[in-house]
Chains A and B, each alone.
Chain A
Amino acid sequence: MSAKPTAKRVKSEWPKHLVVLLLLGIELLPFYMMLQISVKNNAEFLNHPWLPLPPAGWHWSNLVEGFQLIFPYIANTVFVAVLGTVCTLFLAILGAYFFARYKMPFSNFFWAFFLFLMLMPGVANIVPLFSLLKSMSLLNSLWTLVLLAVAGGQVFNIYVLRNFIEDIPKDLFEAAEMDGASHFKQIINVVIPMSGSIIGTLAILSFIGQWNDFLMPLLLMRDKELFTLGVGLIYLDGEYIKQWGKIMAAFLVASAPLLIMFLFTMKLFVRGLGGAALKG
């Protein structure tokens, strides 16, 4: 709950609001700029950089062209992000269940195996990883990105999920077991309903992470059709004479899927980040 002020305090609410709004305003400035530039062309932008044009003069063609610039990459990114998130969470739930359910022999060893990776900086891995993927003939393929997403997401997700599953009352599990449910069924019937919100939050975090990734796609992909969003944006940035209107429109399109998803799952997200993250 928020701090309840005394009678004296009521007056001094306004400064807080003001500061918060100011800071938020500056924070949101890039997006405001993105929105209002995306419908201008270069000349109009130079003349009025700050204020949006009246809707009548908006260049909708910018949006269309921006869309065309970026859309192929989005298709690839959606593929990798969705598949990556689904597979990661699937395996992570299984793994966390293993740790949370019973203290099986070697469980500590496995746990240390994972935990060590949380502390280990992965920076040195990129180079040999590339070579490994080459010898596995996994270069130039979107599936590789999915595999890497799964591998990379295990540690954090298992860590968070383990805590959650351990908090689920054991009787629920035992009841299910007595009904003859296999472990897998137990997961479906007990774990998932109870941990729905945290799984949702983790899914969103993982999805966003995949959406933003540019390093591995840059290194792995040869063909332009396989580029993901990150590489596509780098590509746009390399243009020689930039049509800022179209580029901002492309940025807008690049953000749109996430924004739409956010609009629909807003409550889940804000609540989940607030409460669940605390446990970490």
Chain B
Amino acid sequence: MKWDREKFLNSIGFLLLAACFAYSLVKIAQRRSAEQDKSVTTIRFAHWQLEAGTKAALDAVAAEYIKKHPKVKIDQILIPERVFATWLTTRLVGGNPPDLVALGFGITDDRMARYFTPLSEEVVKPNPHNAGTALEDVPWRDTFIDGLASAPGLFNLFEYYGIPCSMVTTRLYYNAPLFEKVTGSKVPPATYEELTEVFEAVRVYNEKGGNLVAIAGSKYNSPVLMNALFAAQTQKLNLELDRRRVMRFAGAPYPAFFDGSFDLFSPAIRSALELSREIGKNMPQGFLSLAREDATFSFVQQRSLMIATGSWDVQSLRQESSFEVAAIRFPLPSRQNPQYGAYTLGPGSEAETGGAVNFGLTRDAPNPEAALDFLKYLTSIEGNRIFSEKSNWLPSIVSVPVPEAIAPFAPVSEGYPSGFILEWTGGPEVKRIYENAFHRLVRPDGGVDQFLEYFEPRYAQAMVLDMELTIKNGLRTLSMQDTTWIALRALEQGGDPRSGAKAASLQEVQAIGENSYYSRRYDLDEFEKKRKTAK
């Protein structure tokens, strides 16, 4: 009898399994038949924006697009940040990438050159989806708020590889009701002096039995605030060191550093570091060990009063918080500030805010024309409006209204040029030593001197290494375009004059690029020579 029961139970188990298997077969067969339908074009695009609202917004844009183009199916592939680089590498190398990919994780210059199609020819044509609007005849590039000036690939490869569908700014969010309770006022701080008063109010509140942290900190969030303040302190220094007269320090640090005019011990830098340290005191202890989710959790659970993060978090924070969440621009030290005022010019301008969520078109895309058309729709006035409204992200297209909910986040162009951020003056090596030094800055027993003691001796070497890396990668990436040039010339000889024109412009672009890298090489060699003779 026992044998029967056991057998009986076993058989039920296997039957269940067989049933599940049959079901899964059915599902897979269904999927297959859907895919085989040749009349339907499938466009796939991939990104990592898991914040609340983005997926739904993109789905909404896709739905609108499909209404106009019924024979199209649009697939949104969301891969978490952690594994995005791995997933993307395997897809690119494996030759079966989606049509559109958000450029960011896992993307280097040479990957862009190798695996993505340059869109430079497309961006100078008007966007067909803007027909009937004021932007009807405007080249696609100029319909963007920043004119695609920050498109990935533009700076190093001189081609447009990515098209942004949004923009981002950073702000200081705060818990409105709790703020009123702690400070007794509804008015948020406008300057750093007022922020200091808020810190004082929090301290008093804690003495009376509260357990509140002024600003939620983490490895991710703290730099957002600290960098903004640092940049404010280096505004004057930035203009002094600006060799290329672009008011933006990008690319400029190397020349200034290599000709010796950039001094790490200058008072502006010291002041900026001191400011970072002071802010760090108002963040939780050990904040460098915390992750982004921990800071968000702390804010949402009302354990901290403010949090610094970007416009991408508006929806998420509002959804998760049971209280009203407001946001202000970072309170910067005013010029009258006795300690920090001397180095600052005033509120920074956000005119150089670049695009975000840049989508690139892969070379191995199964349906490049359809994908490009969808991308154009997403970045047309209509498509971008739908996206912006549904996701509460900033639009990237001129004349698209900014939704009410993120009005505080709209980039403010009035202001002075921002300063630079020490961490970003070089490349990965500089970042690495900066991170290691940073502990020494914000530790209870640390300070600016400890920071500089560690950082300064390593800085020169790090800059040299990063410059070498930039030059090497840049030249390698440029050389990858040689194959394209040869192919274009071959096509020209085969009788296609357009290819000849493309080849000529590519050659020009390569020449400019090579020139810039060789001049950097020259600067670097001169610097090395000077160092060796100085020793």
Contact = CB atoms under 8 A, between A and B. Distances in A.
Q: Identify the interface centre among A131, A223, A257, A263: most chain B CB within 10 Å of its CB.
A: A223
Given A130-B93, A235-B79, 13 more contacts: A75-B20, A79-B28, A82-B21, A218-B86, A218-B87, A219-B90, A220-B94, A223-B77, A240-B296, A241-B296, A261-B13, A264-B9, A265-B10
Contacts of B96: 139-140, 222
Main secondary structure of the interface of A (DSSP, over half): helix
Interface string A267-278: 110000000000
B80 A238 contact: yes
A134 B13 contact: no
B293 interface: yes
Contact of B20 (A78, A142, A265): A78
B535 to A, nearest CB: 44
Nearest to B82: A238
A30 to B, nearest CB: 20
Interface in B300-319: 300-301, 316
A185 interface: no
Contacts of B13: 260-261, 263-265
Interface in A198-229: 218-220, 222-225
A188 to B, nearest CB: 18
Nearest to B49: A240
Interface string B8-21: 01101110110011
Interface of A: 46, 72, 75-76, 78-79, 82-83, 130-131, 134, 139-140, 142, 218-220, 222-225, 234-235, 237-242, 257, 260-261, 263-265, 267-268
Interface in B103-162: none
Contacts of A257: 17, 20
B338 to A, nearest CB: 41
B77 A261 contact: no
23 contacts: A46-B301, A75-B23, A75-B27, A78-B23, A79-B25, A82-B17, A139-B94, A140-B94, A218-B90, A222-B77, A224-B75, A235-B79, A237-B82, A238-B50, A238-B81, A239-B50, A241-B52, A257-B17, A261-B13, A264-B14, A265-B13, A267-B6, A268-B10
Nearest to B9: A264
Contact of B95 (A72, A82, A134): A134
Interface in B445-475: none
B405 interface: no
Nearest to B313: A240
Interface in B48-90: 50-52, 75, 77-83, 86-87, 90
B31 interface: yes
Contact of A75 (B24, B82, B316): B24
Contacts of B164: none
A235 B80 contact: yes
B244 interface: no
Main secondary structure of the interface of B (DSSP, over half): helix
Interface size class on chain B is: 35 or more
Q: Identify the interface centre among B77, B80, B86: most chain A CB within 10 Å of its CB.
A: B80
Contacts of B91: 222
Interface in B35-56: 44, 50-52
Contacts of B87: 218
B435 interface: no
B75 A264 contact: no
Contacts of A83: 21
A223 B28 CA distance: 13
3 interchain residue pairs of minimum CB distance: A238-B80, A264-B13, A75-B24
Interface string B274-312: 000000000000000000110010001100000000000
B25 A264 contact: no
Contacts of B24: 75-76, 78-79
B95 A222 contact: no
Contact of A218 (B10, B81, B83): B83
A279 B16 CA distance: 31
B525 interface: no
A209 to B, nearest CB: 16
B356 to A, nearest CB: 16
B320 interface: yes
A264 B17 CA distance: 11
A241 B318 CA distance: 12
Nearest to B322: A43
Contact of B77 (A79, A224, A267): A224
Given A79-B25, A219-B90, A235-B80, A240 B16 contact: no
A132 B12 CA distance: 40
A222 B23 CA distance: 23
B98 interface: yes
A82 B14 CA distance: 11
Nearest to B21: A82
Contact of A223 (B25, B52, B75, B80): B75
Contacts of A223: 44, 75, 77
Contact of A142 (B28, B90, B95, B296): B28
Contact of B21 (A79, A134, A237, A267): A79
Contacts of A267: 6
A260 B316 contact: no
A166 B182 CA distance: 80
A171 B509 CA distance: 83
B347 interface: no
Nearest to B25: A79
A119 B337 CA distance: 70
A239 B80 contact: yes
Contacts of B333: none
Contacts of B419: none
B97 interface: yes
A241 B316 contact: yes
B77 A237 contact: no
B96 to A, nearest CB: 5
A78 B16 contact: no
B9 A260 contact: no
A264 B16 contact: yes
Contact of B320 (A75, A139, A224, A241): A241
A93 B125 CA distance: 65
Contacts of B77: 222-224
Contacts of B14: 264-265
Given A238-B83, A240-B50, A222 B293 contact: no
A131 B89 CA distance: 12
B312 to A, nearest CB: 10
B365 to A, nearest CB: 12
Contacts of B95: 134, 139
Nearest to A77: B24
Q: Identify the interface centre among A134, A234, A237, A265: most chain B CB within 10 Å of its CB.
A: A265
A219 B93 CA distance: 11
A222 B98 contact: yes
Contacts of A131: 93
B83 A130 contact: no
Contacts of B296: 240-241
